Chain A
Amino acid sequence: MIAIEYQNLCKQFPGASYLSVDHVNATVEEGELVTILGSSGCGKTTLLKMTNRLYEPTEGKVILFGEDISTVDPVVVRRRMGYVIQQVGLFPHMTIEDNIAAIPKILKWDKEKIDARVTELLELVGLDPDQFRTRYPSQLSGGQQQRVGLARALVTDPKIMLLDEPFGAIDAITRLNLQSELQRIHAGTKKTFLLVTHDILEAFKLGTRVMIMNGGKLLQFDTPQEIVRHPADEFVDTLIRSAKDQEEFWKEVM
């Protein structure tokens, strides 16, 4: 089953002379964890935001499970998907429990169902429910906040998860932990994950396949092994060599 399909997708922002996303074609199978790698301004976040209609494409289509999303109400599209951002975006005036339950409350789930779901999700992301559910976001560390961000995105059991540099603002050690947790959560479901990152190691570690973007174009979309063995062009080659150079550096230091 194809979960996500981009057909000739383009985005040109008003007043810009160039395309931020330039004729992207790609299909993602259900259950994949695809990472989108590129430096800032390469169009990776724009591509992600067109997937849940936060941005509208200038040209082309986004098709989710066979359905052209331009024909579906944006709110409905987004409620079918989980969304996690770098700034976490927890609502500071709501407790952890209320943050996770924000959409279920709008959907008028009954209280027992919400309580059970919050408990289940806090356990899934590795936070003790009794200790955390009544706290406010400002009382949590950055890593804990992003765990809650993940729980909130998972609450309606969406088939697709969109993650925009979820670990970008988190220290290196916590990031490693969270990456492993994300892999564990992904492995336990049939959900399709789309994760934007500028960290090449993160992209290759997490991705079952990796999209490499530059200047709005999708340069290569393949498994990490294939990309390393056969870089599509000079840019991808340079990218991989820079990562290898880093590895050399560590060997020298040790």
Chain B
Amino acid sequence: MLQSIAEYLSTHTAQILVQIRDHLLISLLALAAASLIGIVCGYFASRSGRAERWITLPFNVLRVVPSLAILVLLIPVIGTGVKSAVTALAILAVPPILINTVVGFRDVPDFMTECAAGIGMTPRETLWKVQVPQALPMIFAGMRTALVEVIASATLAAKIGAGGLGEIIFTGLGLNRADLLIIGGVAVAILSLGCGLLFDIATKKIIKWK
């Protein structure tokens, strides 16, 4: 078994590297899209309880639908390939970012925003200089959860021809080869954990006050 794994790794190095690159690309695109949607919606949702219910509802409903089902459902709408995969993964990644953004903004105490106004900041300055920086640690935590989840789920992208490490796993399933399953599975796990770790390091660099 070990021998066949080593052999596959040495003969398919270039192919694996391309798969890793595709896997990361799909995941990061999905994370970027989800962050944009999640943070903007989360900010508006944080401003009232009613807004929060209406904004989080559709995402929580979509989240229940298995990613594989979303992928297949998207094929007639967007077609196969990277676009569909990124869309499906983004839908999966929005809820943790959205929820953490809401909590992050809610956690800024009222006296803090009132004090910012009191010392002479405009509402816009209060938002960018006081509220956003204080919500950031929670938002980053949500993005980290989403990132790990997305990298693990991006395996499914291979199912609709978008590439990534899922290709190795699905080939292994088709050929009934355990060595390929192990290579694919372990690679996804390492990628997911590694990216989580990198994200933590970046967070520490950006948020120095916590």
Contacts and interface: CB of A to CB of B under 8 A. Distances in A.
Contacts of A152: 119
B209 A153 contact: no
Contacts of B111: 85, 87, 89
Contacts of B112: 87, 89, 91
A136 B209 contact: yes
Nearest to B112: A89
Contact of B109 (A75, A87, A138): A87
B72 interface: no
B118 A93 contact: no
Interface in A78-131: 78-79, 81-83, 85, 87, 89, 91-94, 102-103, 106
A103 B209 contact: no
Nearest to B113: A89
Contact of B114 (A54, A92, A103, A136): A54
Contact of A103 (B109, B121, B133, B134): B121
- Of the listed residues B109, B111, B121, B209, the one surrounded by the most CB atoms of chain A closer than 10 A to its CB is B209
Contacts of B114: 54, 85, 89
A92 B134 contact: yes
Interface in A152-210: 152-153, 156, 162
B108 to A, nearest CB: 10
A67 to B, nearest CB: 17
B119 A153 contact: yes
A136 B129 CA distance: 16
B130 interface: yes
Contacts of A82: 119
Nearest to A164: B118
Contact of A54 (B109, B118, B129, B209): B118
Interface residues of B, number: 20
A92 B117 CA distance: 16
Contacts of B129: 91, 102, 106
Contacts of A102: 119, 121, 129
B115 A85 contact: yes
Interface in B123-177: 125, 129-130, 133-134, 136
Nearest to B115: A89
Contact of A83 (B115, B122, B134, B209): B115
Interface in B76-99: none
B120 A103 contact: yes
A170 to B, nearest CB: 16
A252 B119 CA distance: 46
B118 A85 contact: yes
B133 A93 contact: yes
B130 A75 contact: no
17 contacts: A52-B118, A75-B122, A78-B117, A82-B119, A83-B115, A83-B119, A85-B118, A87-B112, A87-B115, A93-B136, A94-B209, A102-B129, A103-B119, A106-B120, A106-B121, A106-B125, A106-B129
A92 B209 contact: yes
Interface string B11-28: 000000000000000000
Contacts of A75: 120-122
A218 B109 CA distance: 31
A91 B135 CA distance: 12
A162 B140 CA distance: 37
A56 to B, nearest CB: 13
B98 to A, nearest CB: 22
Given A89-B111, A93-B133, A138-B209, A83 B121 contact: no
B134 A93 contact: yes
